[in-house]
Amino acid sequence: MIKLTFCLRRRPDLSVEEFHRYWKDVHGPLVAERAAALGVRRYQQVHTLDVAGLHEALQARNGGAPAPFDGIAEIWIDSLEDFTAGTPEARRAAAELLEDERRFIDLPNSPMWLGETHVFVDRTGA
C-alpha cells in the first residue's frame, strides 16, 4: 500500500476555524467524489487540536521544534503504478483538487511525500 501524506498549513488570510471548516465540509467531499478516478482506497483528514499550552510543551520537549501543521491529509493507493497511471480522468480530477487546495492551503509551506506503509501495530479493527 502506498500513502501520500500532505502536511497542511492554512493560508495566512484564513482563521483556524475557517480553514478546518472549508477543508472538512468543502474539500473533503470533493476528494470523495474524485476518489475512484484517482484510484484512492482511503482518504482521511487529521485536524490538529488546539489545546492550550500543549503544542508549546511538545515543541519544548523536542528542543524547539517548528510550529505544528494545521492538519495532515492521508491518501492510500494500492500501488505506485496506480498513483502514476495518469489517465485523462485522473489528471482532470487532480487538477480540480489542486485548484480547490489553492483556496485554503498555503501550498509552498505544506510539504507532501509518497511513502510505502509498514504496519507494526493495528488495534483499530479496521
Q: Which residue has the higher pLDDT, 25 or 68?
A: 25
What pTM did the predictor assign? 0.86
Instruction: List pLDDT tens digits, range 31-89.
Output: 999 999 999 999 999 999 887 677 777 777 778 777 889 999 999 998 888 777 778 99
> Mind listing the domains of the chain with CATH numbers?
2-116 (3.30.70.100)
Q: What is the pLDDT of residue 23?
A: 98
Cell numbers 488495534: residue: 123
State the burial class of residue 23 (Cβ atoms within 10 Å of its Cβ: 0-12, 13-18, 19+).
buried
Grid cell for residue 109: 509551506
Cα maximum dimension of the chain: 47
Instruction: List pLDDT tens digits, range 76-110.
Output: 998 888 777 778 999 999 999 999 999 999 999 99
Residue 126 has pLDDT above 70, yes or no: no
Q: What is the pLDDT of residue 56?
A: 78
